[in-house]
A and B are shown apart, each in its own frame.
Chain A
Amino acid sequence: MKVVVCVKQIPDPATPYTIEEGTNWLVRTADQVLDDTDRYGVEMGLQLAHANEGTVTLVSMGPSGNAQGIRQALAMGADKAVLIEDDGLRGSDALSTARVLAAAIKGEGYDLVIAGTESTDGYSGVVPQMIAELLDAPALTYATSVEAGEGSVTIHRQTADGYDVVEASLPAVVSVTAGVVEPRYPTFKGIMDAKKKPVDNLTLADLGVEIASSQKVVSITDAVERTAGQIIEDDGEAHLAIVALLEDRKVI
């Protein structure tokens, strides 16, 4: 089984993000990290490939920088990576991203595509569905568990009040929620092996994809800030202040 996992490198969420003047684009530094939620997709892909004598290929779009996030995913056990980097992709929207990833996935060949449900920096939340449409494949979304084999895939799909069991034939696209499986930590051997694994670097021209974004951020303004209220140190009696406020708000 050929498993392709979509991953994304993002600016470290622990550091303050900055916005480029003029374009309103997020500034991307060289030392980006693997989006934490993608570790779940990588782990799911590794487990399914292992159970079905398959391979795992990573596909990623964006400024690769020093590619440490990609190396992290390779160190978990993925076989190879395809990186698409192109100046023409700066500020690209969800559809452009999906077109590029779908073209790269087609180029690699696939039985199962796995992605997170949304990235931690962009949050558009529609890229896996768009990829599925462009591949004319089913999109089994928000999976909290995944089983695949013998030409079909079955997931538990998160719903507002529980989950649905959803089945489809392969090839298919699956988006996984954080927590679908417990991601492994790379071993020392994994980290060393990752340095030798193949990484293909592609451009838009290599993929034959032309993109034209039809949307942009026109302004960023400060929101009306909520003002901080009273801050107290707990001296052993702080719970009484909470009780008093709850009384004032007529909660109790």
Chain B
Amino acid sequence: MADIWVFVEQVNDAPSALGLELLAKAREMGDVTALFLGEGSDQVFATLGDHGADSVVHIDAGDRLPSGPTAAALAEKIASDAPDLMIFGQAYNDRDVAGRLAARLGVGVLSNATDVRLTDSGVETDHEVFGGAQIATAEATRRPFIVLVRPKSFVAESAGGSAPDVTTLDLPDAGTSDANVTASHVEEREGPQLGEAAVIVSGGRGLGSAEAYAMVEDVAKQLGAASGATRAIVDAGWVPYAKQVGQTGKTVKPDVYIACGISGAMQHLVGMKDSGTIIAINKDPDAPIFSVADLGVVGDVHQVLPKLVEALQTR
């Protein structure tokens, strides 16, 4: 059996949704070791076991920024244990640890993968390119193999596994590559979140102004939906980064996605084109968003959205 290591991070008091997705894939491929970053608890380790982890390597960096010490310690462990494949998520700490680790080991990483396979000669990954219109297949042939997988590529599922063996990864003393986390701030959030919402209403540059984003939020409120945004209006400072859907933002797969004043740049399409039903409203009949929309309305969001809110209110 192949020896697969999976990086899983703690979010609040549980393993991250992304980490559990990766475990579901890894257990199809071989024996699974979860590299678990966070405080940990018996409950958390049991969840990892239930999702297919045969063993857990517990990494607790405390107030240190995890990437430096974690990469250094993992590099030593890899030298002795030689895993066949390491899978990380396309997420903040995952990218930091995987990047530092790869540079330390002198190997490349396969980033933004949507699927991963072990082959006779190495490892093969699929990547969506050109907004998902095409799939590039890449191959790496130098061990150890490090792959970063996009969120929502696999479905997290309980496997009914028992409690795993847990060992602690010893981290090196602080060196020149260390940084410290001195405070954490959680932003106030209301309503459903992008990652979990069944319905998402998003706005783009076609709204014309930051103030017009209120129309998007009005529609979202009527539908009990989460509100999202394109990179263009996040960069413009109209809405916070946490709302960004796309390649550099969140990948979402809601039942219904309503795109308001969004042209459909490749960067955005990659993050939402797997939604169940897509509704798009845009003035430009040639906008690429219409090529993925189940219902496309060629029209002005400033006309359509207020009427939509009114129609929803009176129901």
Contact = CB atoms under 8 A, between A and B. Distances in A.
Q: Do A and B bind each other?
A: yes
B311 A239 contact: yes
Most buried by B among A17, A137, A215, A220: A215
Interface residues of B, number: 94
B184 A141 contact: no
A15 interface: no
A178 B234 contact: yes
A130 B95 contact: no
Interface stretch (B31-39, B43-51, B133-141, B153-161): B133-141
Contacts of A241: 295, 297
A32 interface: no
Contacts of A182: 237
B106 interface: yes
Interface in A177-230: 177-179, 182, 213-223, 225-226, 228-230
B187 interface: yes
A94 B99 CA distance: 9
B134 A222 contact: yes
Contacts of B291: 226, 228
A132 B177 contact: yes
Most buried by A among B65, B175, B247: B65
B180 interface: yes
Contact of B247 (A123, A130, A136, A163): A123
B102 A225 contact: no
Name B's interface SS: mixed
A133 B177 contact: yes
Contacts of B199: 251
B18 to A, nearest CB: 10
Interface stretch (A53-61, A78-86, A242-250): A242-250
A219 B137 contact: yes
Contacts of A124: 109, 111-112
Interface in B153-198: 175-187, 189, 198
A166 B132 CA distance: 35
B312 A229 contact: no
A163 B185 contact: yes
B307 interface: yes
Interface residues of A, number: 82
B148 interface: yes
Nearest to A137: B177
B108 A249 contact: no
B235 A178 contact: yes
Most buried by A among B68, B103, B137: B103
A125 B112 contact: yes
A238 B100 CA distance: 52
Contact of B181 (A24, A93, A127, A165): A165
Interface stretch (A42-50, A62-70, A104-112, A154-162): A154-162
A218 B112 contact: no
A118 interface: yes
Contact of B312 (A213, A219, A243): A243
Given A239-B307, A245-B295, A252-B315, A125 B95 contact: yes
25 contacts: A17-B130, A94-B108, A124-B109, A124-B111, A125-B90, A126-B99, A129-B95, A138-B179, A141-B95, A142-B92, A157-B92, A158-B241, A160-B11, A162-B186, A162-B187, A165-B185, A220-B129, A222-B135, A223-B133, A225-B133, A228-B292, A228-B296, A232-B296, A236-B303, A243-B315
